[in-house]
Structure 1
Amino acid sequence: MRRPGKRGQRWLAILVFLFALILLIIALWDWNWFKGPVERAVQAKTGREFHIGGNLDVDLGRTLTVRADGLTFANAEWSKTPRMASADRAEIDLRAWPLLRGQVRIPEIRLTRPDLLLETAPGKDQPGNWDFLGPSDGEPPVLQRLLVDDGRLKFLDAAGKTDILVSLNSGKPRTADGAPPLLVNGKGRWQGNPFTLDGNTESPLELTNSDHPFRIHLDGRAGATRAIASGTLTNPFALRTFDLDFALSGQDMEDLYPLIGLAIPSTPPYRLKGRLKRNNDTWRYENFTGVAGDSDLGGTAQIEVGGERPFLKADLVSKRLDFDDLAGFVGAPPKTGAGESANAEQKAEAAALAAKPTVLPDTPYDLSKLRAMDADVKWKAQRINAPKLPLDDMDAHLKLDDGLLRLEPLNFGVAGGDIRSTIRMDARKPTISTQLKASIRKVQLGGLFPDAKLAEQASGGISGEIDLAGTGNSIAAMLGSSDGKVAVGMGRGHIGNLIMELAGLDVAESLKFLFTGDRQIPLRCAWGDFGVQRGLMTSQQIAFDTTDTLVLGEGTIDLKQEKLDLLLRPRPKDISILALRSPLRIGGTFKDPSFRPDFKALGIRGAIALTLGSIAPPAALLATIETGPGEDSNCGGRYAK
């Protein structure tokens, strides 16, 4: 092998010397000399001051590693907080050869104690403080991994009364070369309400790709309200599109109003689970199922937020509806006895209500809630649980438009018949104006008795009409000021003699049937017709006609004072000296009614009863009750006072 000549040896020595000199320069080079140029370059690109307060260092190789300590980045000019971001240390790995071709390839960035502030601008049309980069004039950087150690993120939205502070740490990646997720834990205020947050998200690197779904799993709590969201977001900063499994639970749906602006009446504790989707201004909770109190609840609800007010459209279904769970719609608490679901506040409210001498709900409606949103909600209940009421099912359609609430219809199946009603509540003025129209059709008398034996002793279809209008901001005030009419009637049927006699209509006969058994009394008809003025129901006609007794009544029902003052006068159709038929006085209050014989109201009996005139149902009831065919169909006959 030929050895290099002296000249070649000289050049080789020079090259070795130069290479050693370069290595020495690199080893001894103070990279802090580049701090100023780097700071000025970042400021020129972003328009914000950037400082490297500590050392700047570079490790050379096929992958360059740039380290910088004490980093700070200025905030937007409009912000009251001068600093948007800081970090104790940042380490950036760069591929060397792509960098020579003008391509930025970043295998990994490692951040130690980063502190980031994101806040919305005070102006409605101003971008947030994160919008500081202009349009890209070249190929964007490619970042593969981001590692965060003991980070902190704060989000401020002064207009929305929202202040969130969370800690951030990188978790274990799903794959060896994958980007690690971000572990999130924090607290703050949402719409002015304190909450906590815990969970994890996809690597923040996915935030740079607005078309790539960004996976999250977050568990948030605000007071007694809890939400668990798991799924994907598209463009998370804008939060305009997402598809999440969403579970929501709490002590009262009324608590959602200060959190998300949904004005829902008070409910017992609830749990719901479904699919929450958002497409720009449309939020949709699809195919959710769950319970509210002792009722099951399912369906789909959709909220449009782009208009003047939020608009809720929902189709709800309950296979089993516990009737007292609807109490919040009339300003009353649900039942709180054994086996019933209610929160602590509702239990206290129920105890206070039980101590009051009145029964009509007097809690005022919140006018601001009735005006805060619009709604179109349909709700069907296939079966209703109401031990003291013979309710079968429910079909309701609620419409709310700028403070005008309409229930068209609100229908209940009752004891084999139904009550069909429409309600109009106008809350656009300081005092609510309310109109109620209801039709009662073919409600079976036997179905009104919870006791099976008594139910067998009664039959007949009850029908009627209710037409009331009143003003006031509670149910009690509305009824206490109402005007209109109430008319209820029943056609042919039968009723157990024992039921009548035990009501005090004939003491001698009742004693006999108590010991010797009962028989059925044919019922020809019965009705009550009331005019209503300023909450006072005054009888026009009250009659109860059987084959052997005609009962006529008169008196008032005071809806404002919740008092009863009715007198029922039995008129025997037979001439029986032994029959003791004294009038029955119904008095007291709605909560504590009294029934007693009124001997002072005894009238002349016997033969005089045969000279009584005739009565007939009022014209308003003729179309609704069935008096039946035959010679006995002239209800009341000539037996009247």
Structure 2
Amino acid sequence: MEPRLPATGRMRRLRQWRPARRTGIVLGVMAAALLLLLLLWDWNWFKPPLERAVGNATGREFRIDGDLDVDLGRTITVSADRLRLANAPWSEQERMGSAERVEIDIAPWPLLALRLRMKEVRAVRPDIWLETAPQGSGGNWTFDKRDAAQDSGQPRWRLDRLWIEDGRLRFTDAADSTDIDIRLASIAADTKARPGAEAPVAVEGSGHWRGVTFRLEGQAASPLDLADTDTPYRIDLDARAGATRASATGTLTNPFRFQTFDLRMQLSGQDLEHLYPLLGLALPPSPPYRLDGRLLRNGDLWHYEGFEGKVGDSDLGGDVKVDVTGTRPVFTARLLSQRLDLDDLAGFLGAPPSTGPDETANTAQQAQAERLAASPRLLPDTPYDLAKLNAMDADVRWRARRIHAPAVPMIEDMDAHLLLESGLLRLDPLNFGVAGGDVRATIRMNARKAPIDTRASIAVRGVELPRLFANAELAQGSAGRIGGDIKVRGSGNSIAAIFGSADGDIALGMGRGRVSNLVMELAGLDVAEALKFLLTKDRQVPIRCAFADFGVEDGVMTSRALAFDSTDTIIVGEGTVNLATERLDLLLKPRPKDRSILTLRSPLRVGGTFKDPSFRPDMGALGLRGAVALALGSIAPPAALLATFETGPGEDSDCGGQYAR
């Protein structure tokens, strides 16, 4: 057993281990200070250094007007209220961004390596305003960083997930008259379909695109993806601008530059002309349309590939390219219609499409059609827009394999090549298959200055007479081919004005063929012959030739030679057609080559207007013959028929047969 020390020895040993009085005081003060610090600790003390750090990283003033708080643990959560970030110096808006509250979950261990890994950022009512710079290069999202060291090497921070509650994103491009104001809120991502996917956002907003009001809604990828300008940004949006609607699904690369994207685009509207303020493309007026294709953009080149759809009652498909490299967009298209409704092309002439029960037209076109129906004029007088004709260049080839045209069923197909360069428009060629033949045209319109100078050269070749009037019973069994040439030039900003000032030559003719004898007898008002064929059976009469040759001067067509020669009758004519007033004044004089009773061979007067033509016998000649017949009839009834006898003085015309080869 250890011997016990005396009491005095034990006390001496305790005194050796007792802390000095001064040390005890220090430890007490430190403990009290630590307790006081824990009681009075305020994370707001770190607001100034944090504001300075963000300011150095962005080159913009950053402020936290609310509280700053930190919750320590396996995940450090930093929260702050009422944050704001100053805008670029050139902006008239004070703030680029603000938020009511931001919470950041931070992984603690990377902090030991001076790296910041943010597991999630939750933003409540964030408000971001993006603007393009006045000179058009970049925008306020490009920061002037004061701390150059932040740009060297690998980034020292990472953000894994972003959640937005009741956010707002605005974008302004004053030079392009564009402003967008959208609301967005995060929605749960489908992690099964896309593991590790960021939370997408629901989007709803409105604004102006190139000055045109629009609305949009849909979904987009997380705004976090906007930070990487090289990563495609996925969207699924529907947008409306007036009656025009676009649905786009796909990706944008660097969305704020809007230079690279790959989208499936469905486009529909009431009139292709409405795309001019939206896209700067001067397309002609059209009936309602809907198209579906792949829209791509790579810098200054736009492509709408493999699209299909309908314009009015016509199907339309093909590929379109738009090059905006130069001062004017260059529109290149290769189009194909399996079935083209001819009246859907009326917009090229300044006229509306047909508006019948089975026709497609928008409200404005229906109103225009009603005005035209009430007007005594036939030729459309809607002026061409010279600004649009000078707004872009174009190279469009359009083929239609079959044409639907109930009013003119003889038109079969179309091949058109449109070229537009600096306001000079050419249709070269504009070819139609007509009644087994061809109508080949070259049209040139110079819209570089007003009024538009228009020249047209049209060749008619091999048009078959029976197919030209396929629905007419009197054309059954007829034969013959029609050909000719039309060369005119006019000046004016509408179809009516161009025709009303036209100069040139019009010549059409037909070589040998045959036609119904009933037509010939009715043309000459040979009552007995016409009744005979109506009551018995019609027969065919050989045609030696037919021709019409007009000179055109200042909108007035004047006949130079007009004849229809058959073995039964020769019809010669003369007169004028006024293209400016749309009035007809032609006199057709039949001369039979046979003898018949009950013949009223007076000249036939063709008058009226293009819209309401009239065909009537020359009443003066009929009245004279009627008076002779009555006078003779008062003596002997059989003798009254003598006034209607024709001795057939007509002679064969000199038909060269140069037409319809």
TM-score, normalisation: structure 1: 0.91
User: Equivalent residue for 1:163?
Assistant: 179
| Structure 2 residue matching 1:512: 3-state secondary structure | helix
Q: Aligned ranges for residues 93-132 of structure 1 at < 5 Å?
A: 93-124=105-136, 126-132=137-143
User: Equivalent residue for 2:11?
Assistant: none
**Unmatched 5+ stretches in structure 1:** 1-5, 627-641
Report whether the alignment pairs 1:202 with 2:242. Answer: no
User: Equivalent residue for 2:278?
Assistant: 259
- In structure 1, which of residues 68, 73, 83 is the aligned counterpart of residue 95 of structure 2? 83
User: Equivalent residue for 1:536?
Assistant: 556
Return the index of the structure with the highest Cα Rg. Answer: 2
Deviation (angstroms), 1:62: 3.4
Task: State the AA in 1 paired with 2:467.
Answer: G
Deviation (angstroms), 1:25: 4.0
User: Equivalent residue for 1:323?
Assistant: 342
Report whether the alignment pairs 1:274 with 2:285. Answer: no
For residues 296 and 426 of structure 1, what CA distance do their matches in structure 2 show? 30
Deviation (angstroms), 1:580: 3.0
Report whether the alignment pairs 1:70 with 2:70. Answer: no
- In structure 1, which of residues 599, 615, 621 is the aligned counterpart of residue 654 of structure 2? 615
For residues 468 and 488 of structure 2, what CA distance do their matches in structure 1 show? 24
User: Equivalent residue for 1:445?
Assistant: 465
For residues 20 and 64 of structure 1, what CA distance do their matches in structure 2 show? 27
| Structure 1 residue matching 2:610: 3-state secondary structure | coil
For residues 282 and 465 of structure 2, what CA distance do their matches in structure 1 show? 39
Moved more, 519-528 or 62-71: 62-71
For residues 186 and 16 of structure 1, what CA distance do their matches in structure 2 show? 63
Q: Pick closer, same or farther for the CA change 1:242–1:596 going to 2, 3 Å.
A: same
Deviation by residue 1:405-459 (Cα, 9 ceiling, x = unmatched): 0000001011111100010000000210000000001111111224263331322
Deviation (angstroms), 1:120: 1.3
Report whether the alignment pairs 1:287 with 2:306. Answer: yes
Deviation (angstroms), 1:23: 8.6
User: Equivalent residue for 2:71?
Assistant: 59
Deviation (angstroms), 1:237: 2.0
User: Equivalent residue for 1:550?
Assistant: 570
Is the Cα–Cα contact under 8 Å of residues 461 and 491 in structure 1 kept in the other structure?
Answer: yes
Deviation (angstroms), 1:486: 0.4
User: Equivalent residue for 1:242?
Assistant: 261
Is the Cα–Cα contact under 8 Å of residues 112 and 150 in structure 1 kept in the other structure?
Answer: yes
For residues 551 and 101 of structure 1, what CA distance do their matches in structure 2 show? 106
Report whether the alignment pairs 1:363 with 2:379. Answer: no
Query: How large is the Cα RMSD of the aligned pairs?
Result: 2.5
Report whether the alignment pairs 1:461 with 2:481. Answer: yes
For residues 439 and 555 of structure 1, what CA distance do their matches in structure 2 show? 24
For residues 493 and 27 of structure 1, what CA distance do their matches in structure 2 show? 116
Deviation (angstroms), 1:624: 3.3
Moved more, 472-481 or 211-220: 211-220
Deviation by residue 1:470-509 (Cα, 9 ceiling, x = unmatched): 0000000001101000000011111111223334542332
Deviation (angstroms), 1:103: 2.0
How many residues are treated as equivalent by the alignment? 614
Report whether the alignment pairs 1:44 with 2:56. Answer: yes
Q: Pick closer, same or farther for the CA change 1:23–1:118 going to 2, 3 Å.
A: farther
Q: Pick closer, same or farther for the CA change 1:19–1:453 going to 2, 3 Å.
A: farther
Q: Pick closer, same or farther for the CA change 1:510–1:345 going to 2, 3 Å.
A: same
| Structure 2 residue matching 1:265: 3-state secondary structure | coil
Is the Cα–Cα contact under 8 Å of residues 505 and 583 in structure 1 kept in the other structure?
Answer: no
Task: State the AA in 1 paired with 2:239.
Answer: G
Deviation (angstroms), 1:24: 7.4
For residues 543 and 15 of structure 1, what CA distance do their matches in structure 2 show? 131
Task: State the AA in 2 paired with 1:228.
Answer: S
Report whether the alignment pairs 1:333 with 2:368. Answer: no
User: Equivalent residue for 1:625?
Assistant: 660
For residues 625 and 505 of structure 1, what CA distance do their matches in structure 2 show? 29
Task: State the AA in 1 paired with 2:176.
Answer: G
Report whether the alignment pairs 1:30 with 2:42. Answer: yes
Q: Aligned ranges for residues 178-577 of structure 1 at < 5 Å?
A: 178-389=197-408, 390-451=410-471, 453-576=473-596
For residues 206 and 51 of structure 1, what CA distance do their matches in structure 2 show? 25
Task: State the AA in 2 paired with 1:210.
Answer: T
| Structure 2 residue matching 1:156: 3-state secondary structure | strand
TM-score, normalisation: structure 2: 0.88
Deviation (angstroms), 1:18: 8.4
Deviation (angstroms), 1:46: 2.1
Q: Pick closer, same or farther for the CA change 1:99–1:500 going to 2, 3 Å.
A: farther
Q: Pick closer, same or farther for the CA change 1:625–1:15 going to 2, 3 Å.
A: farther
Q: Pick closer, same or farther for the CA change 1:580–1:131 going to 2, 3 Å.
A: same
Aligned identity (percent) is 58
Moved more, 155-164 or 478-487: 155-164
Q: Pick closer, same or farther for the CA change 1:102–1:505 going to 2, 3 Å.
A: farther
For residues 15 and 507 of structure 1, what CA distance do their matches in structure 2 show? 139
Deviation (angstroms), 1:613: 7.9
Deviation (angstroms), 1:583: 1.2
Deviation (angstroms), 1:209: 2.1
Is the Cα–Cα contact under 8 Å of residues 103 and 139 in structure 1 kept in the other structure?
Answer: no
Task: State the AA in 2 paired with 1:128.
Answer: G
For residues 144 and 275 of structure 1, what CA distance do their matches in structure 2 show? 32
| Structure 2 residue matching 1:459: 3-state secondary structure | coil
